[in-house]
Structure 1
């Protein structure tokens, strides 16, 4: 159990169970409405710009951000926020890349490479992307979700035969099974349908966590006291709060940040199937171009 936290109440369990039931119903409902690959992969290509922006937001922000980036910021300082601040690249997605993708009529980025180059290019990108997703996105997300599960429900355990599963592994398996069933059976329609409410939940939850954190930092005297403590800590440890680090910095040298961040940003925000597929679900080009900047605004309005 997290220090200072209370045990899970009946209402807590009710909310969690209700969420999983709702996810299952959404996947079942939209799975019944799928007629072809366009419905499955692109939600019938009738998504609005708010839904697209929310879907891109929820595709990027997850447990690995709430848990991982917060921990990295505490250990290495604020400079790690450079990676998130480079979401300005989404403007390039809207203005430069989306018109090419949308007018080509493709359903996936590998398919775009096949049209532009060859089938070999498509298969190479598909293979590299799948391996990269497993080792950089899926594994980190599952691990962070399992950490949260273990912190909230440390007493949960399960034994199957001679194999013992503690709270961490139960959380990891639950995350994989639920998201897998939801995505495979619901397709992009289910993802799009839940994107907007999930974006609101993530933003509100992050703001609430920030408020609680500031209150705890202030010793229970309120957020103002916590903010004053934070400012005092920043003044006494300016290097940890600096965005601009010297070349000798082992983690974020300024030259590496300037050169590497835009390159990685363009790859992730403008060419990665995981992100771009959301814009391809738009009902027209203008809608697709409006959705990307909305996601950037949503992220900068919250502490994620």
Structure 2
């Protein structure tokens, strides 16, 4: 087994990362300028995208460093049975989409708080659900993704955990 002696990033690695981030930023700016002016344009890309990029976007927004670190570690310690949860989720997400997408499309809403406001009335319930979703996202998903990403950088590049 060959030991990795140098763990610093080479200039070509930094260049590739910089080009990647510039490409993503440029695509985001171009996309936001193209679909500007409507909520449907923002949330649904103007209803002009094929289902493959939409599915890839849903998949990419669900997968994060928490999956790479957590599921890989659980799989290494417990075996392939850990994948059962993710494989089972595919079927249930399809069922939920089959049930709820027609309701949302008929109501012409794009978010769950928007639907709840339309269904039950009142601005307070929409604001409450929006704040609840943001807080849950910040305290569960985002914090776990940041921490597991820092663990990955610490292990892969031998960086300080807090600097990562």
TM over 0.5: yes
- With a CA cutoff of 8 Å and minimum separation of 6, indicate the structure with the bigger relative contact order: 1
1:88 match: 91
Where does structure 2 lack aligned partners over 5 or more consecutive residues?
Answer: none
Instruction: Say yes or no: does 1:136 pair with 2:147.
Output: no
Task: Give the match's secondary structure for 1:59.
Answer: helix
Instruction: Say yes or no: does 1:100 pair with 2:103.
Output: yes
2:112 match: 109
For 2:152 and 2:18, the matched residues in 1 are separated by 16
For 1:124 and 1:77, the matched residues in 2 are separated by 41
Offset of residue 36 of structure 1? 2.8
2:17 match: 16
1:221 match: none
1:49 match: 51
Offset of residue 112 of structure 1? 0.7
Task: Give the match's secondary structure for 2:161.
Answer: helix
Offset of residue 50 of structure 1? 0.6
| TM-score, with structure 2 as normaliser | 0.81
Question: Please, what is the CA RMSD of the aligned residues?
Answer: 2.3
For 1:76 and 1:121, the matched residues in 2 are separated by 42
Offset of residue 98 of structure 1? 0.9
Cα shift readout 1:181-235 (whole Å, capped 9, x = no counterpart): xxxxxxxxxxxxxxxxxxxxxxxxxxxxxxxxxxxxxxxxxxxxxxxxxxxxxxx
Offset of residue 100 of structure 1? 0.7
2:29 match: 28
Where does structure 1 lack aligned partners over 5 or more consecutive residues?
Answer: 156-166, 172-304
For 1:53 and 1:89, the matched residues in 2 are separated by 15
For 1:70 and 1:41, the matched residues in 2 are separated by 32
For 1:143 and 1:32, the matched residues in 2 are separated by 33
Task: Give the match's secondary structure for 1:53.
Answer: helix
2:121 match: 118
Instruction: Say yes or no: does 1:148 pair with 2:152.
Output: yes
Task: Give the match's secondary structure for 1:168.
Answer: coil
